[in-house]
Amino acid sequence: MRAVVQRVHEASVTVGGEVVGEIAAGLLVYVGVAGDDVESDAAWLADKVRYLRIFPDDDKPLNRDVAESGGAVLAISAFTTQADARKGRRPALTAAAPPETAEHLFNQFCQALATTGICVATGKFRAHMDVSSVNDGPICVLLDSRRQF
């Protein structure tokens, strides 16, 4: 599984003109599931997002995690995080999991994160979503459960 994690002042997601998920300060996380991902990938990614120290305290600019900062998470399913754009001009999306697998593992990720006490809002799976955010920093971190970067 891959994630693009952004520290935000606020974020929301709208589907068909209706806000379906929103947070104040916290993390906006775009999550993509690969075809060979399993539940342990979802658990690893949830743990990494939960404890990622990218919020400031009085001593260091990157010293607190989302819970310590009092933040929440807006998780957005985004199969394009699995895109391969190394060749040509159109990204190949063949590494992305089929929708049924992706939805199951995305939900596992969200549930694992929520069980740690973090408020987790989401978009709508397989819907066209309009995502708005006010980035903080900007701080943007790439995560991969296979540790490819």
pLDDT digits (tens, 9 = 90+) for 29-69: 999 999 999 999 999 999 999 999 999 999 999 999 999 99
Amino acid sitting at position 84: D
Which of 64, 59, 80, 67 lies closest to 131 in space, CA to CA?
80
Q: What are phi and psi of 7, to 5 degrees?
A: -80, 130
Question: For residue 87, what are the contacts with CB-CB under 8 A and spacing of at least 6?
Answer: none
Is 62 buried (19+), middle (13-18) or exposed (0-12) by CB count in 10 A? middle
Structural class in CATH, domain 2-144: alpha beta
Q: Quick one: which of 17, 55, 4, 37 has its CA closest to 106?
A: 37
Contact 102, 79 (CB under 8 A): yes
- Answer yes or no: is pLDDT of 149 > 80: no
pTM of the model: 0.97
Mind listing the pLDDT tens digit for each residue in 69-106? Answer: 999 999 999 999 999 999 999 999 999 999 999 999 99
